[in-house]
C-alpha cells in the first residue's frame, strides 16, 4: 500500500461572505502528481495556501507529511517546496544571490545546477527586476526544488514559460516523481495536466466536482468520442443505416465522422457494415474526448450539479 503524504478532510475557507473552499477532501500518495484544475476563483490557490501554511483554514483537518500546517507551519518549511502564483523576490537580488540566500535559510548548499537546467545560467548575475516573467517563474521553480523537499506545491508552474522551458520542467517533474517526490500543481493548462498528472481534482466554486486519473475522467461523462472512418468505396457516405450510440454524423473530405456516446458498439457496427458491403477499410480513428472537453463539460453552467 502506498504511503499517504497529504490528506485533506472537509477543508473550508471563507473570505467575508464568500465561501472560497467548501468541504474539500482528498489525499495524495508518495510519488504521485496531483493536478488541481478549475476555473478562476474555484479555490485552487486557496487550497494550496492552506496546505502550505500561508493561510489558516476555517474548518476541516489538514495533514501534510504528519504536520498540521495551520498550527505548525514552521515545521513544514524544510519539508515542502513552494512556487507561489503571486510571489516576488527583492527587485535587486540576483539569481545566484537568491539561490544562496534561500538555500542558506534551508540549511543546504546552493543548487546552481538547477539554475543551469532551467536556462538561467547566463542570467546568474542579473537582478530579479531585469528578468522576464518566464525567467522569474523559472527562478521560483528552481528555488522551490533546491532543498530537495519530499513534497512540492506548484501554482501555475508553466504559465509564461516558452516551449523549451516547459519541456525541461516536465522532464524535471518526471525525474522528481521517479525519485519519490510528490507534486501537487494547480494549473489551467489541460494538456499539461493530461500529460503530467497521475490524478486530477476538478474544482468548481470551492468544491471538488470530479476526481480521478485523466484517462478515467475522459472515459466518463457526456462528452462524445470521435470515430473517423475511410473506406475504399466510400459507401458510408451514402449509408442510411443509423449506427448504435451515434448522435451526430459529418462528412469531411474522404472521411465520415461519427460522434458516439459509446464507441465500442459504434465501431463494431461500422466494421460489420463495411464487411457486409465488401468495402475494404482504409483508415479508422477513435479519438476520446480530451480532458479539456471533459473539464468544460463539468464546469459549464449546470454541468456539475
Partner 1 sequence: MNAFAQHFAYEFKTGLRNPSLLLINYLFPLGFYAMMGLIMTAINPLFTASMVPALVIFAIIASTVLGMPSPLVEAREAGVFRSYKINGVPAASILAIPGLTTGFHALISGAIIALTAPVLFGGDAPVHVGAFVGITLLTAFTCASMGMLISVISDDSRATILWSQLLFLPSMLIGGLMVPLDALPERVLSFSALLPASHAMELFTGWAYGRPTVFNLPASAAMLASSGVLALVLSIVLFNWDTRNQSRRGHPLLALLVIVPYAVGALLAI
Q: Which of 18, 104, 171, 282 binds partner 1 (CB under 8 A)?
A: 104
- Choice between 62 and 227, CB closer to partner 1: 62
- Stretch of residues binding partner 1 (CB under 8 A), selected from 4-12, 93-101, 228-236, 268-276: 93-101
How many angstroms separate the CA atoms of 197 and 183, rounded? 9
- Stretch of residues binding partner 1 (CB under 8 A), selected from 105-113, 187-195, 238-246, 252-260: 105-113
What number of chain residues touch partner 1 (CB under 8 A)?
27
Dihedral angle sign, alpha carbons of residues 186, 190, 196, 200: positive
Where do we find the cell 448504435?
244
Least separation in angstroms between CB 249 and partner 1: 53
How many angstroms separate the CA atoms of 109 and 116, rounded? 15
Total count of residues recorded for the chain: 305
From 20, 27, 3, select the one nearest 201 (Cα to Cα). Answer: 27
How many angstroms separate the CA atoms of 227 and 148, rounded? 46
Q: Which of 20, 62, 143, 236 binds partner 1 (CB under 8 A)?
A: 143
Q: Which of 8, 50, 93, 200 binds partner 1 (CB under 8 A)?
A: 93
249 scored as a contact of partner 1 (CB under 8 A): no
Least separation in angstroms between CB 96 and partner 1: 11
C-alpha grid cell for residue 175?
A: 525525474
From 89, 92, 146, select the one nearest 117 (Cα to Cα). Answer: 146
Q: Which of 14, 60, 101, 286 binds partner 1 (CB under 8 A)?
A: 101
* Cβ-count burial 244-256 (b if 16+ within 10 Å, e if not): ebbeeeeeeeebb
Least separation in angstroms between CB 147 and partner 1: 9
What are the residues binding partner 1 (CB under 8 A)? 52, 54, 74, 77-78, 80, 82, 84, 86-93, 97, 100-102, 104-107, 127, 140, 143
Amino acid at each position: 500500500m502506498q504511503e499517504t503524504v497529504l490528506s485533506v478532510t472537509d477543508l473550508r475557507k471563507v473570505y467575508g461572505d464568500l465561501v472560497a473552499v467548501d468541504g474539500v477532501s482528498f489525499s495524495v500518495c508518495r510519488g504521485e502528481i496531483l493536478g488541481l484544475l478549475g476555473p478562476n476563483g474555484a479555490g485552487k490557490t486557496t487550497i494550496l495556501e492552506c496546505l502550505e501554511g500561508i493561510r489558516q483554514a476555517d474548518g476541516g483537518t489538514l495533514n501534510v507529511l504528519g504536520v498540521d500546517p495551520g498550527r505548525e507551519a514552521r515545521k513544514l518549511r524544510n519539508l515542502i517546496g513552494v512556487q507561489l502564483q503571486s510571489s516576488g523576490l527583492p527587485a535587486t537580488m540576483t539569481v545566484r544571490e537568491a539561490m544562496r540566500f534561500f538555500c542558506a535559510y534551508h540549511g543546504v548548499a546552493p543548487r546552481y545546477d538547477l539554475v543551469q537546467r532551467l536556462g538561467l545560467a547566463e542570467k546568474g548575475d542579473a537582478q530579479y527586476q531585469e528578468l522576464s516573467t518566464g525567467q522569474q517563474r523559472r527562478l521560483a521553480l528552481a528555488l522551490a526544488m533546491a532543498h530537495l523537499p519530499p513534497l512540492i506545491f506548484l501554482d501555475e508552474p508553466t504559465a509564461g514559460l516558452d516551449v523549451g522551458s516547459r519541456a525541461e520542467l516536465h522532464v524535471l517533474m518526471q525525474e522528481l516523481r521517479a525519485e519519490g517526490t510528490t507534486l501537487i500543481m494547480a494549473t489551467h493548462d489541460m494538456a499539461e495536466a493530461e500529460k503530467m498528472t497521475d490524478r486530477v481534482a476538478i474544482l468548481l466554486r470551492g468544491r471538488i466536482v470530479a476526481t480521478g486519473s485523466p484517462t478515467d475522467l475522459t472515459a466518463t461523462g457526456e462528452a462524445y468520442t470521435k470515430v473517423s472512418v475511410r473506406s475504399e468505396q466510400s459507401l458510408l457516405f451514402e449509408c442510411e443505416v443509423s449506427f448504435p450510440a451515434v448522435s451526430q454524423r459529418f462528412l469531411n473530405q474522404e472521411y465520415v465522422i461519427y460522434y458516439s456516446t459509446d464507441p465500442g458498439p459504434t465501431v463494431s457496427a461500422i466494421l460489420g457494415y463495411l464487411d457486409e458491403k465488401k468495402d475494404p477499410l482504409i483508415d479508422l480513428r477513435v479519438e476520446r474526448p480530451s480532458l479539456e472537453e471533459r473539464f468544460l463539460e463539468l464546469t459549464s453552467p449546470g454541468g456539475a450539479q
